[in-house]
A and B are shown apart, each in its own frame.
Chain A
Amino acid sequence: EIVLTQSPGTLSLSPGERATLSCRASQVVKSDSLTWYQQKPGQAPRLLIYGGSTRAAGIPDRFSGSGSGTDFTLTISRLEPEDSAVYHCQQYGYSPLTFGGGTKVEIE
């Protein structure tokens, strides 16, 4: 089973700052099998990025996904207050599909 390790556990930043979230896989993962979700408290996860770098419909262009091999990154270029959430990475290239432990983004 592929283990996805997300870091940092919590990121505290101010509006307008850039957030860089890491997702590291225990073995090489096809970049197009990497997905990112956003989850706000008490809500269902929401699809952000699929295929490693493609934004889902309605997702602002301040969100971008990148990476290859074992290292993947979700970048939020200019934080907005509504970006406060937990962000999950997920891979489906190998069975079983697995998720990372999540990174909480706090907007100060």
Chain B
Amino acid sequence: EVALVESGGGLVKPGGSLRLSCAASEFSFTLYTMNWVRQAPGKGLEWVGSISSNSEHVFYAASVRGRFTISRDNAGNALTLQMDSLRGEDTGVYHCARKFFDPTGGHWFFDLWGPGTPVSVSS
């Protein structure tokens, strides 16, 4: 089954670090730009960052730039989010999402999401 599954979430103290993983299955992972999107409790979705298929282009939201690092292992079909200097406002559920480009209409969208892994930053 085509799927994304996140892991690595948990409870961490402010200032601490956490490493999230996203395992991709049953699709050609190497062809897609991948993203991280988070959702704080009671809030809407927030884009965290993206990485192109060959890792050449990596982009971050201003709120995490300099603290978070996105990487990927195409041979292992895995996406990673290294989170350092964590803050309370980083608490939430973190989803990985596949970006799909529709060439007929020139649109793109997130067509496959993982169920998410929860991160709680608290002392």
Contact = CB atoms under 8 A, between A and B. Distances in A.
The B contact surface, by secondary structure, is: strand
A43 B108 contact: no
Interface in A61-107: 88, 90, 92, 95-102
A50 to B, nearest CB: 4
B102 interface: yes
B44 A50 contact: no
Interface residues of A, number: 26
Nearest to A4: B44
B47 A97 contact: yes
A60 interface: no
Nearest to B116: A44
B57 interface: no
Among B37, B109, B111, B116, the one with the most A-chain Cβ atoms within 10 Å of its Cβ is B109
Given A44-B113, A44-B116, A45-B95, A32 B106 contact: yes
A78 B114 CA distance: 29
Nearest to A52: B107
B41 interface: no
Size bracket of the B interface = 20 to 34
B11 interface: no
Interface string B1-38: 00010000000000000000000000000000000010
Interface string A21-54: 0000000000011010100001111110011001
A56 interface: yes
Given A6-B44, A99-B47, A102-B45, 8 more contacts: A32-B106, A32-B107, A44-B113, A45-B113, A88-B44, A88-B45, A95-B59, A97-B47
5 closest A-B pairs by CB: A44-B113, A101-B44, A99-B45, A51-B107, A50-B109
